[in-house]
Amino acid sequence: MKKEIIVMTKVPFQGIIKNRLSKEIGFVKSKRLTCLNLENIKKIFLFKREEYIIKWYITPFYKFRSYSFSFCKNCIYQVKGNLGKKMWHLVNKQNKPFVIVGSDIPNLNRKYISLAFHRLKTTDIVLGPTYDGGFWLIGFSNKKKIVYPFYDIRWSTKDTLKDLIKNLQSNNIKFKFTKKLRDIDNKRDYCENIKD
């Protein structure tokens, strides 16, 4: 059974993608960063297609091309609502383990994804923390029904992961972590990534 990776992203058009980052570093650099990250994800798993399948969870629904790849296959349209509702929609559509990752994680690699799937064998949810208090990956084992874990999350704050963990613990949902990585939300993150 193939391991399913769902990449959550906005289509890299001006006024849609990474608005805060675009204001700080310019749209061209912001778009290039996103496209390179999408390219990286596809290249990492391209020659492992017998083991992995990638799906693109995009908004708005538009078939687009990046530098060398066409992102017109395996696209899912994001539902309306906050981040939690968008992710929960995927949980309700799946009946096997899968992970959701963002499109702003330059150091994502197959080892960290493999670790996430390995940990899903013995837990309900796996989380990939970020340095700013959020998470770059969330995976669901789908071995049993769990309650909606995204109530009262303070999205895009230093408390996002803390709020989610509190919900998981209060609902007796087992969870484990994979590697902590940096996501790129602002100019400081961008400059740190350039140094890395």
Radius of gyration of the chain (CA): 16
Measure the CA–CA gap between 119 and 51, rounded to whole angstroms.
17
Minimum mean pLDDT among 45-59, 74-88, 122-136: which range?
45-59
CB contact at 8 A, 174 and 125: yes
Residue type, 135: F
Given a cut of 80, whether residue 85 has pLDDT beyond it is yes
In sequence order, the 6+-apart residues with CB closer than 8 A to the CB of 118 are none
Q: How far is it, in rounded angstroms, from Cα 163 to Cα 181?
A: 19
SS3 149: coil
Report all structural domains of the chain as residue ranges with CATH numbers, in order of start.
3-195 (3.90.550.10)
The CA distance from 95 to 42, in Å, is 24
Residue 186: band (very low, low, confident or very high) from pLDDT cuts 50, 70, 90: confident
Q: Output the pLDDT for position 4.
A: 94
How far apart (Å, rounded) are the C-alpha atoms in residues 143 and 15? 39
Exposed e or buried b per residue across 4-43, where buried means at least 16 C-beta atoms within 10 angstroms of its C-beta = bbbbbbbbbeeeebbeebbebbebeebbebbbebbebbbe
C-alpha to C-alpha distance for 101 and 139, rounded to whole angstroms: 9
pLDDT at 90: 96
Q: What average pLDDT does range 103-110 have in this prediction?
A: 90
d(CA 174, CA 159): 20
| Confidence band for 70, pLDDT divided at 50, 70 and 90 | low
- Helix, strand, or coil (residue 33): helix
Give dist(CA 143, CA 95) in Å, integer.
8
Residue whose token pair is 């749209």:
27
pLDDT of residue 171: 97
